[in-house]
Structure 1
Amino acid sequence: MSQSLDVTFKALGHPKRLAILKRLIRRVHTCCTVNAEEECCLEEPTCDFGELKEDLGISKSSLSLHLKELRHAGLVEKIKTGRKVALQVNPDRLEELKEFFEISIDQQTRQWMVDKVT
């Protein structure tokens, strides 16, 4: 994994950061559902800073701090266009986490089966 797991899980350990990530993931899901026949473009599944701040009901400084942690963990990407800042989930990082959990679960299942047989 490109980022260490402890940094990632620390970032996900705060309820507001988890809410931010869920919000960004939901945005991607909504975009891809609406545009199912077309390829999702990068502009659509983003949230701007103000939108996130309003949706989550937190201050600008608090949101900035949480986003810094999520970016440090590689979970969120910032896209700056002029003065406007948009945010999106990093799909590559989510895929890495998904693979980590799939491998971990697969290993646990195999171990359980071995223990069950012996």
Structure 2
Amino acid sequence: MAIFLKVAHISSSNFHYAINHVYKKTDATIIELIKNIIMKCKDYGYRRVVLTLHNNGIKINHNKVQRIMQEYNLQYTAYDKQARTYNSYKGHVGPVAKHKLKRRFITDHPFQKIVTDVTKVR
């Protein structure tokens, strides 16, 4: 055992902990419950799945549910960055003013022609 500890470069306490520790695996029943919830409501993300499991009396961490959903490709994909971009353009709304300046901005009186660019205003 001492040779193994030197080869593995771990302390004896970590070695004995790893030997005696019972690692929990995800239960197949939890995975089936998550799959059933998503089959009923396809638009549920991991947060709603966790709330549904809690309402059914199953205590489970949200990180575990999210990890299970990622492993089995059960995540809700409607919310991505491209779907959330905001665009307030509604087409031509209201009357459009006539183009009277025709790019002649020079004047001999101050404040005779006051213009602004509204092409980037949303």
Band the TM-score falls in, shorter-chain normalisation? 0.3 to 0.5
Which structure is larger by alpha-carbon Rg, 1 or 2? 2
Q: Which has the higher helix share?
A: 1
Bigger relative CO (Cα 8 Å, ≥ 6 apart) = 1
